[in-house]
Structure 1
Amino acid sequence: MKICTLLGSAKKKGNTGTALGWIEAELESLGHEVARIHLNNTSIHGCLGCAKCRENPDEIACVQKDEALDVMERMILSDGVLFASPIYFWGFPAQMKLLIDRCFSLVTNYHKPGHTSLMEGKRVGLLVTGGDAFEQNAEGMFTAFERFADFLLARKQGGLYLAGCSDPSAFSDVEKEKAVALARSLVG
């Protein structure tokens, strides 16, 4: 399988990047092709809400010609997409949120007959790192992702929240085992 991983952290080698590296290594050891996109290194603008993308539902028809189009194309061409992000103020950081908002252009007829998506049937997963416990912190982010996956008509293959993150060197084998399990659920 071709797996696209999306790193939504500003830090390439921080907590999220470290855990994502374990997942990518496991996927590659299982024989899958993995390509990481570090969203902090892309130029993605916010959705304009113009709905011009609705005029051609068979392609990414966004009027903005930035790197979001390339990222979404790579998502579509993959069998699975893993969204990896730290939690910022109970939600996704700007790097990831900009892309999620632009995914509006991948779906037509939401909540109507004929609901279609260019991501229909694709496997998706979510990796989140944060300093605090899941409760009163990350549960809203996971709920939002579940709804986003439903919007995309994608297949939710798993999610993982790694709490208590302070520094990647503080991770234990327990966190690594959980990350490896997420990798397997994404392709299983």
Structure 2
Amino acid sequence: MQITTLLGSAKKKGNTATVLGWVEVELETLGHSVERIYLQNKTIGGCMGCAKCRQTPDAIACVQKDDAPDILERMIASDAVLYASPVYFWEFTSQIKRLIDRSYALVTNYHQPGHTSLMANKRIGLLATGGGAYENNAEGLFTAFDRIAAFLLAEKKGNLYVGGCSIPADLPETVREQAKGLARSLVA
């Protein structure tokens, strides 16, 4: 399988990147091809809500000329996509949220007959890290992700929250095993 991972952290070597690396190594060990897209280095404007993308439902027809259409094309070309984000203010980071908003260009007729998506039946998963517990912290992000999966008509294949993070060197070995489990669930 071809798997695209989306690193939505500003830190290339932080907790999210470290755990994502363990997921990616396991995926490669299982024989899959992995491409990581580090969103901090990409130019992704916010969705303008102009709905020009609706005029061409079978292609990404966003009027903005930035990195988002290329990333969305890579997601469509993949068998699976893993979103990875630290929890910032109970939600996704701005780096990954802009791309999620631009995913509007992938779907037509949401909540109507004929709802279609260029990501239909793709496998997706979520990795999130944070300093606090899941409760009163990360659950809104996971609820939002469930709705994103439904919007995209994608198949959610797994998720993992790693709480209590401080620095990558302090991540317990159990987290590496959980990361391997997330990798396996994404391709099962």
TM over 0.5: yes
Task: Tell me how many residue pairs correspond in the alignment.
Answer: 188
Shift of the alpha carbon at 1:62?
A: 0.4
Partner of 1:183: 183
Partner of 2:10: 10
Equivalent residue runs for 1:61-80 within 5 Å: 61-80=61-80
CA RMSD of aligned residues (A): 0.3
SS at match of 1:148: helix
What is the distance in 1 between the residues matched to 2:172 and 2:144?
A: 28
For structure 2, the residue ranges without an aligned partner over 5 or more in a row are none
Equivalent residue runs for 1:115-130 within 5 Å: 115-130=115-130
What is the distance in 2 between the residues matched to 1:12 and 1:154?
A: 27
| Post-superposition CA distance 1:131-178 (Å, at most 9, x none) | 000000000000000000100000000100000000000011100000
Give the TM-score normalised by the residue count of structure 1: 1.00
| Post-superposition CA distance 1:88-110 (Å, at most 9, x none) | 00001110000000000000000
| Post-superposition CA distance 1:40-65 (Å, at most 9, x none) | 01000000000000000000000101
What is the distance in 1 between the residues matched to 2:132 and 2:160?
A: 14
Give the TM-score normalised by the residue count of structure 2: 1.00
Equivalent residue runs for 1:1-188 within 5 Å: 1-188=1-188
Which letter does structure 2 place at the counterpart of 1:121? N
What is the distance in 1 between the residues matched to 2:157 and 2:96?
A: 19
Question: Following superposition, which runs of at least 4 residues in structure 1 exceed 6 angstroms of deviation?
Answer: none
For structure 1, the residue ranges without an aligned partner over 5 or more in a row are none
